Amino acid sequence: MKVLLVEDEKKISDFVVKGLKEQGFVVELASDGDSGYYHATTWSYDAVVLDIMLPGKDGLSILKALRKAGNTVPVILVTARGELDERLEGLNLGADDYLTKPFYLDELVARLQALHRRSTGAQLSLLQLDDLVLNLTTREVKRGEEAVELTTREFNLLEYLIRSPGRVLTRTQILEHVWGYDFDPSTNVVDVCIQRIRKKVDAGQERPIIETVRGVGYRARKL
């Protein structure tokens, strides 16, 4: 998942960014409301974790503007206050969930995963294409009966591809979704990572999972 965190308290943002990245999330941070709104309206995310009390635009104003513009990205509102009126206002404006500080990182991870399952229509924690199976909870991978060891980045890239079999994803799309928007677009990290995944997943297989679309990018083979 690619997540935007809008949080101005550095101690909290450092903790959340580190913890989410360790869990395999791609995280981008905005430390005030204006930059948070700019990020949310300029790039695409699987979810936004949005603090309500922010310098610049406050979280509720950002949420209201996003929903008014037709942006349906899942949003988890975060606040240090537990007031019912504020919680109801956020939910009525279109928030998908709500957390009150302090919160456990495991709870945030669970809520993000639940939002992602709902938004993608996924009912299970398994993704399967042909005989390749990804367990999104344990992050284990199998090709047939063989376990496949992938790094966090390799897992995220493979998951991104097989969520949309047959859809061609450009290198820029992959780079933005798996590495983040501020990564150098001229780098060849996508191609290098694809090569590593192929060696682990497709080597010696009659039916390769990953296909190259020359001059465009990559796709997971559609069955």
Supply the pLDDT for residue 185.
66
136, 103: one domain? no
Cβ count within 10 A of residue 140: 15
10, 70: one domain? yes
Domain limit, last residue, from 68, 89, 120: 120
142, 164: one domain? yes
21, 113: one domain? yes
Residue 122, pLDDT above cutoff 60: no
SS3 content of the chain, % helix, strand, coil (to 5): 40, 20, 35
- Span 34-54, mean pLDDT? 94
- Span 62-91, mean pLDDT? 85
Q: In this predicted model, which residue has the larger pLDDT, 181 or 49?
A: 49
Within the chain, strands assigned E span 2-6, 26-30, 47-51, 75-79, 97-100, 126-129, 132-135, 141-143, 146-148, 169-170, 210-213, 217-220
Q: Which of 83-92, 172-181, 190-199 has the lowest mean pLDDT?
A: 83-92
Contact 50, 62 (CB under 8 A): yes
pLDDT in tens, 5-19: 999 999 999 999 999
Supply the pLDDT for residue 83.
63
Backbone angles phi, psi at 104, to 5 degrees: -85, 140
57, 89: one domain? yes
Domain of 165 in residue numbering reads as 126-220
Average pLDDT over the chain, rounded to an integer: 88
115, 9: one domain? yes
169, 202: one domain? yes
pLDDT in tens, 93-106: 899 998 888 888 88
141, 214: one domain? yes
Domain limit, last residue, from 62, 86, 120: 120
pLDDT-derived band at 90, boundaries 50, 70, 90: confident
DSSP line for 132-177: EEEETTT--EEETTEEE---HHHHHHHHHHHTSTT--EEHHHHIII
109, 135: one domain? no
Residue 137, pLDDT above cutoff 80: no
147, 106: one domain? no
CATH at residue 133: 1.10.10.10
- Span 120-133, mean pLDDT? 76
What is the tally of helices (H) and strands (E) in the chain?
8, 12
Supply the pLDDT for residue 182.
63
Residues of the chain with pLDDT > 70, as a percent, come to 93
CATH at residue 8: 3.40.50.2300
Residue 123, pLDDT above cutoff 60: no
Contact 67, 88 (CB under 8 A): no
Supply the pLDDT for residue 162.
92
Domain limit, last residue, from 68, 91, 120: 120
pLDDT-derived band at 215, boundaries 50, 70, 90: confident
51, 135: one domain? no
Domain tally for the chain?
2
98, 149: one domain? no
